[in-house]
Structure 1
């Protein structure tokens, strides 16, 4: 049953601008049921295929980090999803964190990690020219590189000058930091930036990983980050992602779990996350927030799924599709939840 979220509020920007938002939930469902060919699933990523169709990928197997874990997929639309099928398994090692990306040339790319330990991840990539029906052979993104290149969890961002930015991070001996991989030739070659400037007194514990990127105006790029400090981190770039400001902490709580965001228009962005301000805290509720001032304030915050006890609603992936916020997330490591929300501003 469709539910209506009447979220109308007055939001003041520069003292003069009033913003009203109405969000209507069009779909809130699982993409597969209890009869599934794996015990656990996690870390989904979503992309649009056009005409109201979507593709979702995730990693699944007997348990995260086990050798039988591969990359799985489903395609469809609300109320009509194809049965899960294995998409890629390059060898008998754990696969992780698939990321879908619709490139400007029409190719649908899939990036994913392979390796027993996160410290030594390899990044692999393949592409489809027919909306995910058939795929190229998977190859290493940067041959011989270890630790994680390309997108680690969230979507690639295409800038106004057509540069591709991949939000990346490193996890080595439980010391974390993030960086950006840049490609100026349509993903053929990649150059990684320096890791972020991180005050380890401000951000205690592991550090920061898994950036989520957006561009406000040409040359101005921004990221929010998962952190171990109990709050979401932020860094900004004034030169198309070549260099970044020192990481600061926002007022948004973070449980050291995945976040994702998408730009809707102008300075309006939407964020999905767990609003829990505790390092390694509980992974619920799943919340949607909207900012009208480029992420400085978040006047709209709506719980999508509350949770209790040992629930886990985590690792969201969100896109914007012609008036709709569309996202998916892990549901108790058993299923993938799909949500579609109509946006009216």
Structure 2
């Protein structure tokens, strides 16, 4: 059973037209750091990475922490150690050829180092494309990535040395014939995205059976793939009992239960409302726990993390704000 503790809007004092694709981390003093990209419109060269700090129901003014003369996308946070926070993000006006940048903070997000390329010379985007990395039982860090240069497909970037070097897993491909719908002009995405087909943006977890991913797809269903070798290779992917609207999803594994946040809506480029929190004992069948947001608008691209018996969830709120919710697991 879940109890909703609070609901906060992070960007009430904003200087930008649009914000999207949030990610979060909680500090030991209960401050929540939220990052996202924002600017005039998704894919425009004025988009940049912003950060807010939320505590006790109050949010700071958004602060720009990374910008250049190209579009910025999909920031992802990872706590490498208590004194080393890592920020991944994508840079590039063309998604198919964007690159992944990394910055570090050694003072819990108060300041950041200069950015550097995660994999020097890479084109297409290594590392986490949208969802959080996890550290598995072997000690390896798994970064859930995907590629959009051609058919959409997913992979994991695996690091055995605390993000100094990376080994790319086998790619996860899933294609169905004859399932494609026209674009939905009500969704404020970059026009270049509408021609894609396949699976992208995995969320990853580990249990006693291995490493697993759930994937956003263009086929109206969430797709799952399983690995028995620590994420190096995957068995044949398959749909689970959850609709997907070709929009981002995220999950976290807590005490034998998987918690998933997504739009439970079928169809390619279908509406991005409602946004709902589910639980599952098997990662295939899901039970609704709470509706985070519904009604007209876009409520999308969630990030969910677990800290003890608490779930923290951030998500896009109609492209004008970033919402942050906390739930306690009773």
Q: Aligned to 1:283, which of 272, 275, 279? A: 272
Alignment deviations for residues 108-152 of structure 1 (CA, whole Å, 9 cap, x no partner): 110000001000010000111110011111100001100010000
Change (3 A) 1:202 1:208: farther
Q: Which residue does the alignment assign to 2:147?
A: 170
Matched residue, 1:298: 286
Q: Which has the larger radius of gyration?
A: 1
Cross-structure match for 1:4: none
Q: Output the aligned Cα RMSD.
A: 1.5
- CA deviations on 1:72-107 (whole Å, 9 max, x unpaired) are 001122412111010111x20000000011114641
Q: Which residue of 1 aligns with 2:58?
A: 80
CA drift of 1:57 comes to 0.3
Q: Is the 8 A contact 2:142 2:158 kept in 1?
A: yes
Residue in structure 1 matched with residue 320 of structure 2 by the alignment:
334
Q: 1:191 aligns with which of 159, 163, 167?
A: 167
Counterpart position of 1:214: 205
Match of 2:213 among 215, 223, 243: 223
1:114 aligns to what? 91
Whole-angstrom CA distance in 2 between matches of 1:304 and 1:78: 19
Cross-structure match for 2:69 = 92
Whole-Å separation in 2 of the counterparts to 1:167 and 1:323: 24
1:200 equivalenced with 2:173 (yes/no): no
Distance 2:83 2:105 in 1: 9
8 Å contact from structure 1 (residues 177, 196) kept in 2: yes
1:39 aligns with 17
- CA shift digits 1:198-241 (9 cap, x unpaired): 34349767000000000102x71000000001010000000100
Q: Distance in 1 between matches of 2:108 and 2:78?
A: 11
1:149-197 deviation per Cα after TM superposition (whole angstroms, max 9, x unaligned): 0000000010111101100000014x20001111111100111112114
Residue 155 of structure 1 corresponds to: 132
When normalised by structure 2's length, the TM-score is 0.92
Runs of 5+ unmatched residues, structure 2: 181-195
Aligned to 1:13: none
Distance 1:63 1:196 in 2: 30
In structure 2, the partner of 1:66 is 44
Contact 2:8 2:58 in 1 (8 A): no
Contact 1:123 1:148 in 2 (8 A): yes
**Distance apart, 1:65 and its partner CA:** 1.0
**Counterpart contact for 1:74–1:85, Cα < 8 Å:** yes
Contact 1:27–1:78 (Cα < 8 Å) also in 2: no
Given that 1:99 and 1:110 are in contact with CA atoms closer than 8 Å, whether structure 2 keeps it comes out as yes
The whole-number CA distance in structure 2 between the counterparts of 1:194 and 1:237 is 10
Which residue is equivalent to 2:122?
A: 145
Are the equivalent residues in 2 in contact too, given 1:157–1:164 (CA < 8 A)?
Answer: yes
TM-score (norm 1): 0.88
Is 1:230–1:253's contact at 8 Å kept on the other side of the alignment? yes
Aligned-pair CA distance for 1:53? 1.2
CA distance 1:243–1:202, change in 2 (3 Å): farther
- Specify the alignment match of 2:9 in structure 1: 30
Corresponding residue for 1:245? 235
- 1:125–1:245 CA distance, 2 compared to 1 (3 A): same
Aligned mates of 2:170, 2:178 — CA distance in 1: 20
**How many equivalent pairs are there?**
315
Give 1:262 shift: 0.6
- Structure 1 pair 202/156, CA: closer, same or farther in 2 (3 Å)? farther
